[in-house]
A and B are shown apart, each in its own frame.
Chain A
């Protein structure tokens, strides 16, 4: 088992290394030799054409950024840590708000067939709406771009949590409910002592899907609202035609997304049970 893990880790490294090597070779810029032409002297020796940077350049930038992630040199030059921090703050605020509403409502929907019948059509209409479609309305009503971004995260992460909670609660085994009934547990105690632990793995699946979607959406939302955040940073560096930074931030988005997923999959393992 562990030997399999080691072998896949080695293979993984080999794959990444060879891809980077190919990328490096393809993007290698000819080193100018000899005298600069008059035009080049006027341009200060700059490269006349933008090109995809080689991985070595990305690595160099990554080192530079990661050794000092929290510097702040004005609105257009903040460290990667600060940008990611803003994005995480927005994602987590919207996500926590969504969880606070989705899990109790999902509980009610799952436990009451009446509420399920009443709310299901509404949910089914609202659920497929792209979260960014809410942005204009949110900006108009809330009149604050920061809060609007949080609202967009809220609205996109609420549905998977709500539906999974409702599904998990509705499908708790009848036997376990009967165990609670024969032990004369109150509805509230039944909800906390039996239904919640029984539905917890399904609820956490919903939470895991939600955090993934929220992290996808924040990049797009920040490109729209601007100001701070990793999404804004990507767009800003594109405007600067700094492709090295763009590639570096793309990788950072991936890493943070993976960490968020790891945290929730860890939480999921804690509540997982096998029958």
Chain B
């Protein structure tokens, strides 16, 4: 049997509650990531997405189950798994360049100063920050800080890149620009990426596969939706693809109507693989039932 690059099996997390049964956030979460794949996970707040990501990172310990990466169990954080946090987590006393160099130096301690600098500058160039190398995070806008954070994570060339709602705190315009940059860097580096998002459009733009989580407590990864849209994708053109709204409506329908329905996906089940585009005729493009804004609000509420 060929093993996947990352395998999450029987993962469970519960918190002890005072004189009551422990609160089970999720139980028996199973999924796998293939090498070079971009996978997004979507679910309502409180279903434990961030905890799953932290467990993948090795920052959090699961109550049950395990994460296997490259055939070895994940125990504790490692440079093989880079993380971009929602709140950027830049070290505020270091300049943008020094923040990236911090990661590069940790990854390749034997490198010379010039090598570290050259490598770091290259990745800051990729995110379009070559003009702000010496600025401290407090002198950068939110979008620029997140770019530094992304550059730091990509520069260490981890085998698995974990993004915890990286664009959650950014305005829509900035978000669009950085999403495009992320797609560009990812297509250049072909790293495996696992990303949490609340934004259905963002997931469709970026991912090969979208994992849908049911509502917590006792959440599971219910479905694994194959995003069968051609690459390279552009924000402006992807929405005109005939399958786009089929996929989009499928996701929104799950989040709004089905994520609370526990019957369909009991514990123990592996996520059901779905490809909405192969079931429906691609030419039958359904009209969006609600306005984009309303769907977004539903999806994140």
Residues of A bordering B, CB below 8 Å: 175-176, 178-179, 181-185, 193-194, 197-198, 200, 271, 273-275
Known: A182-B79, A182-B82. Is A273-B106 also a contact (CB below 8 A)? Answer: no
Q: Are A197 and B85 in contact (CB-based, < 8 A)?
A: no
Q: Looking across the interface, which residue of chain B has its beta carbon closest to that of A275?
A: B92
Residues of B bordering A, CB below 8 Å: 57-59, 76-79, 81-83, 85, 87, 89, 91-93, 102-103, 106-107, 136-138, 156
List the 7 closest A-B pairs by CB distance, nearest first: A183-B106, A273-B93, A175-B89, A274-B138, A182-B77, A181-B77, A273-B92
Contacts A182-B82, A183-B103, A274-B136 supplied; 4 other A-B pairs, CB < 8 Å: A175-B89, A176-B89, A198-B91, A274-B138
Q: Are A194 and B138 in contact (CB-based, < 8 A)?
A: no
Chain A residues lying within 8 Å of B83, measured Cβ to Cβ, are: 178, 182
Known: A183-B102, A185-B106. Is A178-B89 also a contact (CB below 8 A)? Answer: yes
Known: A273-B138, A274-B138. Is A182-B59 also a contact (CB below 8 A)? Answer: yes
The distance in angstroms between the C-alpha atoms of A182 and B59, with both chains bound, is 8
Q: Are B106 and A184 in contact (CB-based, < 8 A)?
A: yes
Chain A residues lying within 8 Å of B57, measured Cβ to Cβ, are: 182
**Could you say which of A183, A194, A198, A273 has the most chain B C-beta atoms within 10 Å of its C-beta?**
A183
The distance in angstroms between the C-alpha atoms of A176 and B58, with both chains bound, is 15
Chain B residues lying within 8 Å of A175, measured Cβ to Cβ, are: 85, 87, 89
Q: Are B89 and A197 in contact (CB-based, < 8 A)?
A: no
Closest chain B CB from A184 CB (angstroms): 5
- Pick from A182, A185, A198, A200: contact of B81, CB below 8 A: A182
- Pick from B59, B77, B93: contact of A198, CB below 8 A: B93
Q: Are B79 and A197 in contact (CB-based, < 8 A)?
A: no
The distance in angstroms between the C-alpha atoms of A184 and B108, with both chains bound, is 11
The distance in angstroms between the C-alpha atoms of A193 and B156, with both chains bound, is 18
The distance in angstroms between the C-alpha atoms of A178 and B86, with both chains bound, is 13
Q: Are A183 and B156 in contact (CB-based, < 8 A)?
A: yes
The distance in angstroms between the C-alpha atoms of A261 and B263, with both chains bound, is 69
Q: Are A193 and B102 in contact (CB-based, < 8 A)?
A: yes
The distance in angstroms between the C-alpha atoms of A271 and B76, with both chains bound, is 31
16 residue pairs from A and B, CB less than 8 Å apart: A175-B89, A176-B91, A178-B77, A178-B83, A179-B91, A179-B102, A181-B76, A181-B77, A182-B59, A182-B81, A183-B107, A193-B102, A194-B91, A197-B93, A271-B93, A273-B136
Q: Are B91 and A197 in contact (CB-based, < 8 A)?
A: yes
Q: Are B106 and A274 in contact (CB-based, < 8 A)?
A: no
Q: Looking across the interface, which residue of chain B has its beta carbon closest to that of A182?
A: B77
- Pick from A176, A184, A274: contact of B78, CB below 8 A: A184
Chain A residues lying within 8 Å of B59, measured Cβ to Cβ, are: 178, 181-182
Chain B residues lying within 8 Å of A182, measured Cβ to Cβ, are: 57-59, 77-79, 81-83
Q: Looking across the interface, which residue of chain A has its beta carbon closest to that of B85?
A: A175
Closest chain B CB from A132 CB (angstroms): 39
The distance in angstroms between the C-alpha atoms of A190 and B136, with both chains bound, is 20
The distance in angstroms between the C-alpha atoms of A182 and B54, with both chains bound, is 11
Q: Looking across the interface, which residue of chain A has its beta carbon closest to that of B59?
A: A178
